[in-house]
Structure 1
């Protein structure tokens, strides 16, 4: 017969065991993975019994630092929308950037990773009241143009084109790695997303094919940047996010009052000349944008395949297909400042969905990012690894 004391002890144990009560309420299993509505609801996983043998044997909690390259999207430009102080609306909210934000409580890739490695660092903190501008040839020379206290290891610059990515690597990211004395043996995650500004301003390159923003120059710039990272920042995994269909923003924002809160006329053509033209000319330029997007992504896939074939022990490149169907998204997926940059909601969605795909196979990585107001987070499992040899 079980004593009263033993029964009370057993009852207390059940109450205090998270997996018996609270965990099942928030966890959902599908397709062999476990998901939760918050990353904090995901159970902890045991520490690895042996350290990773190379970049091809990594779980996301093996990363010690996060880094980023890109343009105004990665910089978190305008993402909070219109503020009470209108001038504050035009800042870069880098600490909330999907790619490398690390503000407390923000839903970002680095903060999701921190669930499993609290010592992770390198993410941006806070905001820049004025965007750090760099646009093709109109770009500050040398190491000026960044605020390292806020930016941390996020080298992205608003307005950047592909040709500016080597500048971000050589003039900011590599010097920051050296200045912070980051060990070469530490594993690092690097998010790379670029190409939107090239599409917006140089869509004619879909048929011209040479000179600034041509597919050849685009490919050359990405290669230079990746090689600079490989040679100077070892033990890095680069997640290359493909160029998404920017032209869809036209249909998203057409005749939307949401888009004329700062400027009285919606679709004022300020930031993306190739996208917002009307009539037959606009239809033609948007078709050119889509064609150029496909050419850019073909070059990115070519580059990723080559690195996966070479299989360096201290450097790997991943391919994240840009399946972001903006035409199905609500208008508030965009910033109310300009109806062009992603809103905070979209940054959060991208962070969650790119995290969910980080340990996925090629099929899982290619699943479109469906719009949802209720985010789901894939819980890391002990056997999970980042697939560095899976492309298509």
Structure 2
């Protein structure tokens, strides 16, 4: 156990280089891990984490026999309008984001393995296991179009093409990093012959904001670097670049979640509380109240929604849609006895486990096929049995602002 603690300490110091902003913060983190009390918490957490080893495999969630009769075929001819795109018309998937898009720790059995990026399990871009064993958006889309390209597989960093494919997410990223990710993504699309940039319909997922919120309460400058306005502007800059370079694209933004929910996850996990002092300073800052954190999260959500509603990113071949299934979720997933279901989270109590990614993927997919204005905003993270939705037979397309308001002008025959 002592050797394991030494190894884990070294690993956590290494991990900290990715999510701590300053040299002073990184030194403080390393010093904290030398503290005997922190070591004791770490050892206790590793002992309790043997539940993962005893299970040999982590819990996961798949969907058997998913079928939507009459709704799973392509359009009779390739759509020319973004509001007439069926799920089977999507040929390319991609994603931007942070460690939740890189799926850090999704397959981790202990805190050491949280450093690993299990990209193949990521809810909005992973392609591992197949839908029967693990829900992701690409795994659902493969039921409509088995040739859909771009899903990440396996474990590795953004620079390993055979793993990451079109998963451009980077651990530690904030909204200001999305532009560089967009540039990287476009370059990959333009240089890989599997992709016809001009003619393939593309679904690009974006999930960002956790790290912005983790720094929100520390802003001292005016205007604040992590304000809602700057947050939305950063996203908008990245999307504008994608709009310029990638025709036939649907941008699907998973809306910001309520960060104060994580405090309930920490409540009886002393090591996680200590680790989160460095993973997310604002979440651990008692001076930043739940009410303030909720207000900040809601301001981020409203700013994101303006990106959808202001029409800037609307054209016949490009659109942006917010998927708000986490918007009003204030309670973490619970077990049948009302306790926080830690199996939803990686061993650091912060990132999603593979189960967490699968549950989130269900919520995201269901939002994708729900009309704008009627999308679920309080998805039940505890309900693993929730149905995986089919497109609406009366509007069998990926839902956009325009086909949600009136689908009739966009009706086209399917195969």
TM-score over 0.5 for the alignment?
Answer: yes
RMSD over aligned CA atoms reads 2.5
> Are 1:342 and 2:346 an aligned pair?
no
Give the corresponding residue for 2:281: 273
Give the corresponding residue for 1:251: 264
Residues of 2 paired with 1:356 and 1:242: CA distance?
A: 14
Give the corresponding residue for 2:327: 323
Q: Deviations over 1:66-87 (max 9, x none)?
A: 000111111111122324xx64
Give the corresponding residue for 2:79: 52
Q: Deviations over 1:252-281 (max 9, x none)?
A: 22014xx74xx7x76651211111234xx2
TM-score, length basis structure 1: 0.76
Q: Is the 8 A contact 1:95 1:127 kept in 2?
A: yes
Give the corresponding residue for 2:63: 38
Residues of 1 paired with 2:260 and 2:177: CA distance?
A: 22
Displacement of 1:53 after TM fit?
A: 2.9
Give the corresponding residue for 1:314: 317
Q: Number of paired residues?
A: 327
> Any residues of structure 2 matched to 1:342-381 within 5 Å, and which?
342-370=352-380, 371-380=382-391
TM-score, length basis structure 2: 0.72
Deviates more, 1:342-351 or 1:319-328: 319-328
1:358–1:72 distance in 2 versus 1, CA, 3 Å: same
Larger radius of gyration: 1
Which of 199, 205, 220 is residue 191 of structure 1 equivalent to? Answer: 205
Residues of 1 paired with 2:280 and 2:74: CA distance?
A: 47
Residues of 2 paired with 1:338 and 1:234: CA distance?
A: 39
Residues of 2 paired with 1:364 and 1:239: CA distance?
A: 16
SS at match of 1:270: helix
Q: Is the 8 A contact 1:238 1:318 kept in 2?
A: yes
Which ranges of structure 2 fall in alignment gaps of 5 or more residues?
A: 1-61, 335-339, 406-415
> Any residues of structure 2 matched to 1:71-86 within 5 Å, and which?
71-83=98-110
Displacement of 1:89 after TM fit?
A: 4.0
1:221–1:348 distance in 2 versus 1, CA, 3 Å: same
Give the corresponding residue for 1:96: 121
> Any residues of structure 2 matched to 1:194-233 within 5 Å, and which?
194-205=208-219, 210-233=223-246
Residues of 2 paired with 1:338 and 1:324: CA distance?
A: 24
Residues of 2 paired with 1:39 and 1:52: CA distance?
A: 30
Give the corresponding residue for 1:173: 185
Which of 127, 143, 148 is residue 115 of structure 1 equivalent to? Answer: 143
